[in-house]
Amino acid sequence: MMQQYKDIISTVDIQIQETDRQSANHYYKTASLLRSITGMFVIFAIVSLVFHLKMQDAAYVLMMISFLLFIWYRKTNSAKIRNILLKDCDPVRMLSFHTALISNSSRNKVWKLHFYNTCSALYYAGRFDDAKKVLALFSKYCSDNASRFSYELLWAKLSYYEKDEAALSAHCKRLEELAKMVHPTGAFRSLYTEAMTYPVLLQLENAREYQKIYDIFQQGYTSYYDSMLSEVKANYMMYQIAMAMGDAQTAKQHGDFVLKNGGSLWYRKAVERNG
pLDDT at 33 > cutoff 60: yes
Residue 93 CB neighbour total at 10 angstroms: 19
pLDDT the model gives residue 222: 59
The model's pLDDT over 55-94, given as tens digits with 9 standing for 90+, comes to: 778 888 888 999 999 999 999 999 999 999 999 999 999 9
pLDDT at 268 > cutoff 60: yes
Q: 197 by DSSP, 3-state: which?
A: coil
Q: 201 by DSSP, 3-state: which?
A: helix
- Hey, what amino acid is at 5? Y
- Hey, what amino acid is at 275? G
* Dist. CA 96–CA 15, nearest whole Å: 6
Query: Model pTM greater than 0.85?
Result: yes
Higher-confidence residue of 173 and 108: namely: 173
The model's pLDDT over 194-240, given as tens digits with 9 standing for 90+, comes to: 999 999 999 999 999 999 999 988 887 655 557 899 999 999 999 99
Residue 106 CB neighbour total at 10 angstroms: 8
